[in-house]
Structure formats: C-alpha cells, structure tokens
Amino acid sequence: RRSRDRFVGVPPVEVLQSVFGFPAFRGLQEDAVSRVMAGEDTLVLMPTGGGKSICYQVPALCRPGMGLVVSPLIALMDDQVAALRQLGINAAALHSELDGDESSRIHFELTAGQIDILYVSPERLLSPGTLGRLSRMQVSVIAIDEAHCVSAWGHEFRPEYRALENLPQHFSGVPRIALTATADPRTRKDILAALAMPGAAVLSASFHRSNLIISARPKGGEMKQVTAILNRHKGEACIVYCGSRARTERVAASLRERGWPACAFHAGLSPIEKRAALHRFRSGEPIVMVATIAFGMGIDRPDVRAVVHLDMPSSPEAYYQQIGRAGRDGLPSDTLLLYGGEDMTRARYWLDQSAAPDSEKRVMRSRLEAMIALTETTACRTRALLTCFGETLQKPCGHCDNCRSPVPTFDGTKAARMLLSAIYRTGQRFGALHVIGVLRGKVSEPATRNGHDKLSVWGIGKEHSENFWRGVVRQLIARGALMMGNEHGGLMLQNDIARPILRGEEEVRLREDAVQAETGGARGGR
Ligand code: ADP
Ligand code: ZN
C-alpha cells in the first residue's frame, strides 16, 4: 500500500516534475509553495488559469499529513479529484452528493490514513462529526480555494465560508493558503480579516491577459450583434452571458432557430440538466453556452474563443472573471460587452432595493460605477480594467477596440449643459425619461402637474432624438456628473463634476456611437 507520506523529504520541484509532469514552477508558484512548506499562512491572487492548484497540491504531498482543500463547488471538486487520481494521487471529495458506498469508502480510507488530499465543502468540513474526525488527523496544509467567497462585498459571497475563521482553533499549527482570482484591494482585505490570517503573506500575480481582445458596444439589435461575433467562431466554443434565467432560455432558443448549437445554463436547471449541459460543454464539441453567472466556477475548457455579455456585469471583478473564461489556452479570443442605459438604471434600482446594509450598498454601488465607467471609456479598455485591480499597464494594450479604432467623439458641451440644467430646474428628483421629455417639450401629465412646461428648459433640446439624450445621460453618469438620487431612478447632479460643466468651464467630449445606437433589440423582462 502506498504511504500517504511517501513524498515527505522530496524537494517540491521534484514532486512537480515527477507527479505533475511540469518542468518548472510558473510565476508565483515557487514562492507560494516555499512559504507553505515553511508553515506560513499565504494569500495567493492569481487570474483564472494561472495555476493556483499547484500552490497547495505540491506542499500537501511534501509535508507530512493529509492535505485539506475547502472548495465551494461540487463540480470543481470532482474535476480536481479525477485529475489527481490520474496522476496516482489518492484524492477524494466529501460533499452532499455522495452516495452511501462512496461515503463509507472515503471514511474507511480516512481512518486508515490513506488519503493524500481531501476536498471538502465548507458546510461538510464544519459539521461536528467531520470536524471532530479531521481535527484529530495530521493535516499537512489547509487550502481555501475561491477564497473571495468569504467576502460579503464580493459577487460570489457564500455565508458558509464565514465559519472558516474558526479553523485555526481546530487545526493549530497547520499552515493555511487562501486562493482567489479576485484581486481588488477591498476583497483582499476582507479575506485576510474573515479568515483570521492578518499576518499572511500576500502574493499577487499580474492579471493582464494579453490574448483577450476586449470590446464593448452599446446595444443595438442584440441578436445581430451576437451572431456577428459567433460567425467568427463557427465550430468553436463560445459563452453568452445574460442577466436572467428566462433570458438565457429565450436567447438560446433564438440562436438554435438560427442553426447555432446553443444550450441554456442557469441555476434553475435540475441537477441532471446541469450535468448534461456541462458534459456537452466539456466534451470539446462546438457549443454556444447561453448562461447566467451560475455558469462559472470550475469551468475549465481551454478553447473558449469568445465571451459575449448581453447584459452588463455588476462589477469589474465579475466582468474580468467572466471574460477570463475565454482563451485559457493562450490563443487570441474575443470578448464583447453589450450595454445600454437601461442596464445601468436597472442595476442601480436592484442595488437600491436590496436588503443589504447601507455600508455594503455603498461598496456595491462604487463597483457598479466602475463597471459603467469601463463600458463608456474612450481610452484603452485593458488598461482601464487592470486599473480596477490596482495594476498599471505601462502603455495601451494595442488590441482592444478603443486601441484599434479610436472612438469618434463630438463636442457635447452644449448638450451636457442643457441636460444638467433641466435636471437642476426640475428639482433633481425625476428619472431620465421625464427629464428628456422636458428637454424635448413632450407634453405629459406629470410635466403639466409639476409646471415643467413653464420652465426655461422646456423644449430646448427638441432637435435631438430621445436616443441621443439617453446617450448623453449615460455618458454623464459614466463621467460621474450624474447619479441616481432615489429609488425611482431620479437623477441628481454630482456637484464637483457637474458644476464646471454647467458653468461652461469644461468641454465635454461625447462618444458618437453612444448617442446613435440604443435601438430595438430583443430586450425586455428578466
Ligand atoms: P487556476 O486554478 O489558477 O485557474 P489551475 O491550477 O487549474 O489554474 O491551472 C491552470 C492550468 O495551468 C492547468 O491546465 C495546469 O495544468 C497548468 N499549469 C499549472 N502549473 C503549471 C506549471 N508549473 N507549468 C505548466 N503548466 C502548469
Ligand atoms: Zn487597449
């Protein structure tokens, strides 16, 4: 029988070569491994595909005892276990979907000390029976994968992760390594605090993925925009992200009608349906996965050639993670984000409606604002995105849409001033539609009732279409000159930025495409 500790005393790099078949450590792996070997707590920030698993798998084998890996997703665990078993490592996963036989086999092997690496869901790990049993065993390292799940600010918060702060009490002296692909400073701070590892070394890799070609465009006939990009990737794998379950079903059906091998994926599917969809995706066949954010963690298909967002993600972190599912093989891959003013207002509305405490809402709001700014930027998108993660790209990437074709802009100073004055004169409590109605002199009951048809701004923006004005609103929001002041989407001036524009002290360049598009499309109910 193989001994669990057969690699103790073997240098980590030899285990990397002989067990995993890699010639050398990559990037931060070596640093991370040697810190864990030395018994230190570590936080590793690495983009998806960066090679996080090696950081805990190698020390798990090289240190005496069994490696314990906390992971939030069953699919993810099962994948890793299967891969390790192929390498001759006795790995196992404890989670709620095990059948009785599996479960008793694992327990037998645990007792016999035969398991090299045990994957476990947080709720299972912290259940009294399991915790008691595991804490009596010798553990080489505790890895906390997808560690951003512990952060309530994050987009994938899992309350079960909170209880992980108690781990040191049960496994004293065992080094912990937390790993995540979410790098913003706020989440980082949260992870260290919530996992009670204030002294941990933080190792952060670059998040620049130079093979991702980032582009974003205002919505204007969504299905046409989506199929245009899919056409460039016939016979390949693509992911189309949507904001709601119903929408994935609708879009998938509509793509199938047009002959695309489209498949919907969302949290409302039965486990069997989910498994079938994942199986299709992983099999390597051509597929267009039309999915909500439920399709994410643990998806490891290297040859995804395009990621399209039909709806705007809620934060740059979520966006980065989702586009990061393209091009894991390092080959050039397309990403396209479609956005509209409605997306932005709706996202704000839901945020306002959420039951979260104000402090949390403020953080989510600032992430949303950063996301909006990213969609509207006329500068290098790759650089703007990396800035969100505290990383500076020395020069523009050269291959995002804005780098390849500089955005045509026009002098929108006059229009911006008109809009800001209309918002000011109507008392800073009405939504975009009403204000635009006032600018265009559109008679309505609320306009008459509030006496807005008597204002000096009434009808001064008649020569422009409603779409034009929507584009101006969105860009002034993106610029930070406007914000939502109430739950009805009421617009308010952000004085520091709005005042110089109103006084005519500042020129406002607006994107031409933003005031032209924004028509039709298969939008609606989510
Ligand atoms: P992450 O968890 O960060 O998304 P993984 O641990 O799944 O990344 O690794 C991503 C890919 O990189 C895997 O296919 C893995 O085989 C490969 N990989 C990891 N470390 C190395 C290395 N040192 N040399 C070569 N390839 C590696
Ligand atoms: Zn660029």
Structure-token pair, residue 465? 């279409």
Q: By mean pLDDT, which of 52-56, 75-79, 419-423 is the weakest?
A: 75-79
Element (H, E) at 365: helix 358-376
Long-range contacts of 483-486 (CB under 8 A, 24+ apart): 484/345, 484/348, 484/349, 484/352, 485/428, 485/429, 486/429
pLDDT band for 3, please (50, 70, 90 cuts). Answer: confident
Our answer on whether the CB atom of 207 is closer than 6 Å to any ligand 1 atom is no
pLDDT band for 227, please (50, 70, 90 cuts). Answer: very high
Structure-token pair, residue 100? 């009785």
Which ligand 1 atom sits nearest the alpha carbon of residue 302? 14
Task: Please state, as a whole number, how many other Cβ atoms lie within 10 Å of the Cβ of residue 373.
Answer: 17
The pLDDT value given to residue 523: 32
The pLDDT value given to residue 488: 61
* pLDDT above 80: residue 484: no
pLDDT band for 364, please (50, 70, 90 cuts). Answer: confident
Our answer on whether the CB atom of 80 is closer than 6 Å to any ligand 1 atom is no
CA 5 to each of CA 81, 114, 180, 430, 494: distance values in angstroms, whole numbers, following the listed order: 18, 9, 28, 68, 62
Nearest CA to ligand 1 atom 26: 22
The arithmetic mean of pLDDT across residues 76-89, rounded, is 93
The pLDDT value given to residue 494: 81
The arithmetic mean of pLDDT across residues 64-72, rounded, is 95
Structure-token pair, residue 157? 């918060």
Structure-token pair, residue 419? 């809009």
Our answer on whether the CB atom of 48 is closer than 6 Å to any ligand 1 atom is yes
Q: What residues contact 239, with CB distance under 8 A and at least 6 apart?
A: 288, 289, 291, 295, 304, 306, 307, 308, 322, 325, 326
Spatial distance between the Cα atoms of 105 and 462, rounded to a whole number of angstroms: 75
Which ligand 1 atom sits nearest the alpha carbon of residue 53? 6
Most confident stretch, 92-96, 305-309, 350-354:
305-309
The pLDDT value given to residue 298: 63
Task: Please state, as a whole number, how many other Cβ atoms lie within 10 Å of the Cβ of residue 46.
Answer: 23
Q: Which ligand is nearest to the CA of 379?
A: 2
> How many residues in total does the chain contain?
526
Helix intervals (H) in 87-162: 100-111, 122-125, 128-135
Which of 442, 437, 449, 441 shows the shortest CA–CA distance to 491?
437
Q: By mean pLDDT, which of 2-16, 312-326, 335-349 is the weakest?
A: 335-349
Contact criterion met (CB below 8 Å) for 156 and 118: no
Contact criterion met (CB below 8 Å) for 47 and 102: no
The arithmetic mean of pLDDT across residues 62-66, rounded, is 97
Our answer on whether the CB atom of 22 is closer than 6 Å to any ligand 1 atom is yes
* pLDDT above 70: residue 485: no
Our answer on whether the CB atom of 46 is closer than 6 Å to any ligand 1 atom is yes
Q: Which residues are near ligand 2, the ion (C-beta closer than 5 Å)?
A: 380, 382, 396-397, 400, 403
- Which one has a higher pLDDT value, 75 or 27? 27
Å from CA of 54 to ligand 1 middle:
7
Q: Which ligand is nearest to the CA of 214?
A: 2
Q: Which ligand is nearest to the CA of 386?
A: 2
Spatial distance between the Cα atoms of 498 and 492, rounded to a whole number of angstroms: 10
* pLDDT above 70: residue 524: no
Spatial distance between the Cα atoms of 463 and 450, rounded to a whole number of angstroms: 23
ipTM for this model:
0.97
The pLDDT value given to residue 255: 98
The pLDDT value given to residue 490: 77
Our answer on whether the CB atom of 27 is closer than 6 Å to any ligand 1 atom is no
- Which one has a higher pLDDT value, 26 or 349? 26
pLDDT band for 346, please (50, 70, 90 cuts). Answer: confident
Our answer on whether the CB atom of 53 is closer than 6 Å to any ligand 1 atom is yes
The pLDDT value given to residue 1: 53
Q: Give CA 87 to chain center in angstroms.
A: 31
Which ligand 1 atom sits nearest the alpha carbon of residue 29? 23
pLDDT band for 154, please (50, 70, 90 cuts). Answer: low
The pLDDT value given to residue 297: 66
pLDDT in tens, 365-421: 778 878 988 888 888 999 889 887 777 788 899 999 999 998 889 999 999 999 999
Which ligand 1 atom sits nearest the alpha carbon of residue 48? 4
Task: Please state, as a whole number, how many other Cβ atoms lie within 10 Å of the Cβ of residue 21.
Answer: 8
Q: By mean pLDDT, which of 49-58, 243-252, 278-287, 383-392 is the weakest?
A: 383-392
The pLDDT value given to residue 519: 43
Our answer on whether the CB atom of 20 is closer than 6 Å to any ligand 1 atom is no
Our answer on whether the CB atom of 168 is closer than 6 Å to any ligand 1 atom is no
Which of 160, 132, 3 shows the shortest CA–CA distance to 66?
3
Which residue is associated with the tokens 């802009």?
A: 409
**Of the residues 22, 86, 119, which should be mutated to test ligand 1's pocket, given the most ligand atoms within 8 Å of the CB?**
22
Task: Please state, as a whole number, how many other Cβ atoms lie within 10 Å of the Cβ of residue 338.
Answer: 25
Contact criterion met (CB below 8 Å) for 425 and 434: no
Å from CA of 151 to ligand 2 middle:
30
Å from CA of 26 to ligand 1 middle:
8
Our answer on whether the CB atom of 441 is closer than 6 Å to any ligand 1 atom is no
The arithmetic mean of pLDDT across residues 48-73, rounded, is 94
- Which one has a higher pLDDT value, 127 or 13? 13
* pLDDT above 90: residue 84: yes
Which ligand 1 atom sits nearest the alpha carbon of residue 16? 23
Contact criterion met (CB below 8 Å) for 125 and 131: yes
Contact criterion met (CB below 8 Å) for 42 and 203: yes
Q: Which ligand is nearest to the CA of 380?
A: 2
Which of 228, 282, 238 shows the shortest CA–CA distance to 262?
238
Q: Report the chain's mean pLDDT, rounded to a whole number.
A: 89
